[in-house]
Structure 1
Amino acid sequence: MAKPPATPETATPTMLRRVNAGKVLGVLTRARVMTGTSLIEATGLTRATVHAVCNDLIDMGWVVELQPGRTSVGRPSRRFEFNSKAGFVLGIDIGAAKTTVLVADLRGETIAKAGRSAAGVKTPGERTEIVHETVLEAVAAAGIDDSQVLAAGAGVAAPVDREGNILVDDEFWRRFDAGLSKRLTALHGWPVLLENDANLAALGEHWRGEARNVDDLIVLLAGERFGSGLMDSGRLLHGSRGGAGEMVFLKLIEGVGDTHGIARIARELGTAAVADPAVATSLRTLAIDGKVTAEQVFHAAADGDAVAVGILQDIAARTARVIATVGSMFNPELVVLGGAVAEGAVALLPDLEKQLAGYTSTPPRVAVSSLGDAIVSVGAVRHALNYVEQHALDLELECRPK
């Protein structure tokens, strides 16, 4: 009886070799130095397969072999390490007011950072130019060139669907323009993976922030406007057009009424207090041209100013309603407050948690991000690393042995 012809599902030697290479590389990217024996135990592959695959990965540039360890008996074990300098990735935070670029190696360690103001930017072309200039500065500071960059993750303050397309139904979202990634790729040659900034914040927190080992998570970017990144069972939620987690519904919530974030509310309430001559507050001595910053409000509250303390109590009550609403819909284990306002938001936690318990029978834990204003760019690095790990065997490395 004749054998049936091979189908796409039939495992060929080449396919098996590729699968095995991916398995070994996946283990090494999350480990430090491993012996052949350790890799056998971690992957379930035979010794011959592990060594053959490692030889392939060494030839491709993904793995380096270290000097054998000392041993008193028998042949010393071969030792392998993931080549974290095989290439680099970028994490780009394309904010409305500022662009930040991190350069990281393939373990996610930051090599260089650059930032530029985007104040006054009016067209998508101008925004692309700001990002381009910031990338050039960061890459130069890292001492590398475009040929060594394997991918860039980029966050924008707009909904982005699973294919990386920006939803442009809102005027603010249109400022980030759907052609941004293509123009940057044309300028630099590496793929640009667009994602919503709050989604990247969730990736960053899950990877290196307060939410490590937490798979049911909401990250609230709470600076000028509220935005949320949603993670369910360790997976980002996008929705049909990338709109999952958009906060426009806050306009319908009693006691909230808009999407204004913590920094904006603090600034506006502080400035209003200074403008009222009947209000006695130390904020008046801090104001410049009658205006105060959110940071000044937080500092004045820490120093005991009654007006500033009252402002933070109002903000905590409002934020508790926001968290209770999104928490009731998605039932996360943890909600993290992130963005540039995170450091000051620690002062809100006692009042916020007290009020939150009165709104829902399943209140989530609430924490403040330790990543500060790098929360989006750190998540963008993780997004780029995910791409590199998924496509590693198809990428051509500049450092590949000749």
Structure 2
Amino acid sequence: MPHYREVKIPQPHAAGTPQSLRRVNAQAVLAHIRTTDVATGTGLMTATGLTRATVIAVCEDLVRSGWLRELDTPARDGASAPAAGKPRKGRPARRFELNARAGVVLGIDIGAGTTTAAVADLRGTVLGRSSAAFRATDIPAEERVSVVDRACLDALREAGETPEKVLAVTAGIAAPVDREGAVLAAQHFWTLFDVGLRSALHERHGWPVRLENDANLAALGERWRGTGAGVADLVVLLASERLGAGVLESGRLLHGRAGGAGEMGFLSLVEGVGSSAGIASLARTWQAEAGGPTGGGQAGSRRVFADAAAGDAAALEILDRLAERMARVIAAIASFINPEQVVIGGAVADSAGALLPGINAALPALTATPPRVTVSTLGDAIVTVGAVRHALDYVEANALDLQLRP
């Protein structure tokens, strides 16, 4: 494994200092402006709770540094259209918009076999995307880094952007990550992702890189742009080959001491579950154990759901088993986390809607606090969506310290 120098990501200044207040105010203004086409002083005051003087000072600061553009002011703030022949009253409205292409962020999903990088502007609009495959699972760390790097550069080329425009990078990996970005390498599979990616990409390009667990990023993505939009107490289950959970409590990601919150190893102790195997893995295994698809062919999760939709009795029985098992998994989560909503995500999300009736029918008998259960609409992009959101959070929190490149 190559020896990369560890990189420390800048952290916010201590609370209560003038610099920290400037940062907090800038973050609040940017967080609102990215959600609207044009913002006025009055609108920003309402959205942020800041005074007019503070809002204008922050906006002028952000205009000077290139984050915002000030627009012409054809209207007057807080004034309705005047009657004919009467002068307008009220102070002129100053109007601002986000300079969305002032920089870009990279959101990366790193699995065991492939990696996908997405380039997004400062509103979170994806401008380019690229995927690359690893030639084997146990490749050297330096080779894994190079494959990820190539996917990032290809995505930037598709977006028409250069590496110098990247303001932040978040990479989601299939391993626990603590609050400081350190990988919990307590199992061999998890060590595959402990490759010095942060330091390597920083040394190659100067990018600030943060690591996060892929299920945690899925939870951020689902709350931002999925069926869990705005839900503060949310669990997202990545449920394809193996189960993993991202947990938001009062809108805050739960990591645990070493990043192990949301790991599903405990399911081996749950009656009627027995392992952390996911929906796709079990569907394929159970169909093969039953002798394969009724009409012949290779066993697989897509075939199971397709056959069930066509009314095949054997496939419908597998779906019933999957629904009952997922209900037990969700009941266990509900019993000690008590989320408002659980979202089934990952590669199986397109098909998992067929399990919802069975899950919802079984849940009340298994837990006193059954959550609302949905399937994600983000498909296999759920981790990169969350990674983009995570990177944008870093940009907004550190805007006053980041140097924009023209």
Length-normalised TM-score, structure 2 = 0.88
Secondary structure of residue in 2 paired with 1:337 = strand
- Contact 1:166–1:178, Cα closer than 8 Å, also in 2: no
2:120 partner letter? A
Aligned to 1:107: 123
Deviations 1:204-238 (A, max 9, x none): 11111111121111111000000001111111100
CA distance in 1, matches of 2:136, 2:343: 31
Amino acid at match of 1:326: I
**C-alpha displacement at 1:178, in angstroms?**
4.8
Equivalences for residues 180-219 of structure 1 within 5 A: 180-219=197-236
Correspondence for 1:38 among 35, 43, 55: 43
Q: Which amino acid aligns with 2:346?
A: G
Q: In structure 2, how many angstroms separate the alpha carbons of the residues matched to 1:174 and 1:17?
A: 40
TM-score by length of 1: 0.89
SS at match of 2:101: coil
In the alignment, structure 1 segments of 5+ residues that lack a partner are 1-7
Instruction: Note the C-alpha offset of 1:50.
Output: 3.6
- Contact residue 204 and residue 380 of structure 1 kept, 8 A: yes
Identity score, percent: 54
CA change 1:176–1:22 in 2 (3 A) is closer
The separation in 2 between residues aligned to 1:155 and 1:320, in whole angstroms, is 27
Q: How does 1:36-75 map to 2 (within 5 A)?
A: 36-43=41-48, 45-70=50-75, 73=88
Q: Distance in 1 between matches of 2:23 and 2:232?
A: 30
Shift of 1:146: 0.8
Q: Contact 1:69 / 1:79 at 8 angstroms: preserved in 2?
A: no
Tell me how far 1:304 sits from its aligned partner. 0.7
The number of equivalent residue pairs is 381
**1:374 maps onto 2:381 in alignment:** yes
Structure 2 residue matching 1:165: 3-state secondary structure = coil
Establish whether residue 319 from structure 1 lines up as the match of residue 326 from structure 2: yes
- Judge conservation of contact 1:336–1:368 (CA < 8 Å) in 2: yes
Provide the residue aligned with 1:92 in structure 2: 108
Name the counterpart of 1:281.
Answer: 294
Secondary structure of the structure 1 residue equivalent to 2:199: helix
The reply on whether 1:389 has 2:396 as its aligned counterpart is yes
Task: Kindly indicate whether the alpha-carbon contact (under 8 Å) linking 1:104 and 1:381 is maintained by their aligned counterparts in 2.
Answer: yes
* Shift in Å, 1:96: 1.2
Residue in 1 that maps onto 2:244: 227
2:169 maps to which of 148, 152, 159 = 152
Unaligned 5+ segments in structure 2 are 1-13, 77-81, 83-87
Amino acid in structure 2 at the alignment position of 1:314? R
- Residues 170 and 308 of structure 1: CA distance in aligned 2, closer, same or farther (over 3 Å): same
The letter of the residue matching 1:33 is V
Q: Distance in 2 between matches of 1:142 and 1:92?
A: 15
Task: Give 2:279's aligned residue.
Answer: 262
Q: Distance in 2 between matches of 1:316 and 1:19?
A: 45
Whole-angstrom distance in 1 between the partners of 2:346 and 2:125: 20
